[in-house]
Each structure stands twice: as structure tokens, then as C-alpha cells.
Chain A
Amino acid sequence: GAGVSQSPSNKVTEKGKDVELRCDPISGHTALYWYRQSLGQGLEFLIYFQGNSAPDKSGLPSDRFSAERTGGSVSTLTIQRTQQEDSAVYLCASSLGANQPQHFGDGTRLSIL
């Protein structure tokens, strides 16, 4: 069955460039989450979308980070003016709703040179 799909799987870019990461959630899942995972660490929450409600952006580390979710489905995480400390695996998850199991994609491995 179709799970959460993320693209690209790997992204290498130069410091200062902007990047866009894409997430296709499981069909029918109203909740979508972005997390960041640094090497050997747990997951750090970034942003959460639930239906048509205003997103919970409380985890975004700086104003260089933003995300959109169009039509209640696909989401894009954008990082502007990338820095080396942005290097990490960016994971997307979706769920049927709040307080439901979150199902993860395999992430985008972002490397900033």
C-alpha cells in the first residue's frame, strides 16, 4: 500500500542556497508533521498541519524555515539561505488525526556544503 512519500531522498546544496523538500502523506490522513533528525539523535518537531486549521509552527528553529500544505494533501518544507547546521534528515509523518499513530516517510537527507 502507499505510505508517506518524500522527495528528494538526498539533497546536497551550497550554503546560502534555498531548498524545498516535498512530502506526500497517506491518502485520507488529515494530520501532517515535519520533524528533523540530526545524526544519532531523536526527532525534533518542526511543524504540524491539521485539516484547515492554522498550522502549529512552534518547532521551527528560525524564520528561514517555512512550510505549506496545499489542498490538505502535499506539503513542502522550505529552508531559505541554508546554513551548515541545517544538515540533517528531514522526516515527514501523517496520521488520521491528533492522538493517532504517526506514519513516517524515509526522509530527505540534506547536506549543506
Chain B
Amino acid sequence: GESVGLHLPTLSVQEGDNSIINCAYSNSASDYFIWYKQESGKGPQFIIDIRSNMDKRQGQRVTVLLNKTVKHLSLQIAATQPGDSAVYFCADHRNQAGTALIFGKGTTLSVSS
């Protein structure tokens, strides 16, 4: 079936390192992608989004890269901080109005000092 998934369920990094979280999607019709951060007991928090007409988008300390050829999405976090520890989800939105996001299972990022 069509799904959005992540390559690794967990990622451990040292404070100050750069983190890269990967995601693969299967639906070539997907035209909009979002990364969310979820802390324990909280709802997902919007981090950054990218549309299919772009390859790269930058925010504050975060960059999202989209490779439509291989249907791959990644989130890069620069100078990772302990406060970045959370579960990160990628989600995609199909190319039709009124459909919901399809979420992957998430990658747990652990940042040690």
C-alpha cells in the first residue's frame, strides 16, 4: 500500500552535532510534505514543510531536502540541542484537495550532553 515511512526508528547524537532524519515515501502523486516534532504527552508540532516544486527549504537550524526521483525526504537539524530530543514524523499530502496527512511511524531523536 501507499505509505510514508522512516529509515531508522531511533537516532542518538551528541549535543552540537548535526542530525539527519530520513523518510521514504511511495506515492509519486504526493505534492506536499511536512515534518513534525512530537514531545512526550504533547501533540505534533509543525517544524517545516516543502512542496513538490522545490528541492530544498531552510528554516531556523532546520533544512528539508526533497528528492522526487527516489521519493526521499530528509530533515537536517544543525547544532542539535538537548531540547531537540523528541519523535520526528514526516507526513505527506496527496495531490487532491481535502485529504488528510499520511504519517510515518516516527524516528526518536536522543541528544546527549
Contacts and interface: CB of A to CB of B under 8 A. Distances in A.
Interface stretch (B44-52, B55-63, B68-76): B44-52
B97 to A, nearest CB: 4
B43 A45 contact: no
Interface string B80-113: 0000000001010100011111111110000000
B43 A105 contact: yes
Contact size range, A: 20 to 34
A98 B99 contact: yes
Contacts of B45: 104
Contact of B99 (A53, A56, A91, A103): A56
A48 interface: yes
A71 interface: no
Interface string A95-112: 000110111111100000
Contacts of A65: none
Interface of A: 4, 33, 35, 41-45, 48, 50, 53, 56, 59, 91, 93, 98-99, 101-107
Interface of B: 31-32, 34, 36, 41-46, 49, 89, 91, 93, 97-106
